[in-house]
Structure 1
């Protein structure tokens, strides 16, 4: 069996002043919630990509981008093609007022967005990616960004 092609992606764990997490809802694969982000463009680094993705998906012009807090490697379909996605997650601070969907240029099949409290994340029965997001955010809020990115599964 051959290894799927590599796809590098940058994602943002977006928090507001109330420590709520922004997640986007997608209909594909039976529906799921996920952090904003997407694949790197040629020559782009992860931090630049995550800022671009927030602008393209959510119309965000101003973002307080923090450290990389996690990473994950996962094989899954993207646009019908099986890929091995390497994701790096960055802490980002945005206010709800910073989001302007009228400025978004690539909404990427996003059905809705929602700000989730820590309790929402812990208690939901809905599918949320990445798995372990609640624990990651709880740790970051309690102890600050980790010295080394946490590996998510």
Structure 2
């Protein structure tokens, strides 16, 4: 079976002033929560895509996207077509009051926005992508950014 076409993506682990993470709810595939982000536009780098996605999905006009924490590769369907999505995960700090879904220009089938504490995320009673996000955030809050992005498995 041939390798699906590559789809490059940038995702943003968005933390507020209380170390809560903002996740977005989607209904497809039985429903799940995920970090903001999406595919790169032609000739766009990952960092620029991360900034654009925060603006488009969260309505935040100015955000300082920080270091890259992780990378993940996943084969799945996009628009009914198989792709191999390679996601690079960056961290950004925002003030919770700056999030304004009413200003989002690309809501992309987002059904809900929710701030999660680390404890709620680690409790694991909801489907969250990527798997292990709580551990990734805990490590970042404890130790700072890794020297090299961590490889996530799913």
**Is TM-score (shorter-chain normalized) higher than 0.5?**
yes
Deviations 1:13-47 (A, max 9, x none): 01001000110000000000000000000000000
Q: Which residues in structure 2 correspond to 1:1-16 (within 5 Å)?
A: 1-16=1-16
CA-CA distance at 1:8 after TM superposition: 0.2
The answer to whether the Cα contact below 8 Å between 1:62 and 1:98 also exists between their aligned partners in 2 is no
The answer to whether the Cα contact below 8 Å between 2:71 and 2:86 also exists between their aligned partners in 1 is yes
Aligned partner of 1:88 in structure 2 is: 88
Q: Which residues in structure 2 correspond to 1:41-80 (within 5 Å)?
A: 41-80=41-80
Q: Partners of 2:126 and 2:100 in 1: how far apart?
A: 26
Detail structure 1 runs of 4+ shifted over 6 Å in the superposition: none
Q: Partners of 2:77 and 2:22 in 1: how far apart?
A: 23
Query: Is structure 2 residue 138 aligned with structure 1 residue 147?
Result: no
Q: Gapped runs of 5+ residues in structure 2?
A: none
Stretch of structure 1 that moved more, 41-50 or 53-62? 53-62
The answer to whether the Cα contact below 8 Å between 1:71 and 1:149 also exists between their aligned partners in 2 is yes
Aligned length: 153
CA-CA distance at 1:124 after TM superposition: 2.6
Q: Partners of 1:63 and 1:10 in 2: how far apart?
A: 15
Q: Partners of 1:100 and 1:115 in 2: how far apart?
A: 13
TM-score (structure 2 length as normaliser): 0.97
Aligned partner of 2:21 in structure 1 is: 21
Q: Gapped runs of 5+ residues in structure 1?
A: none
The answer to whether the Cα contact below 8 Å between 1:10 and 1:39 also exists between their aligned partners in 2 is yes
| RMSD between superposed Cα atoms in Å | 0.7
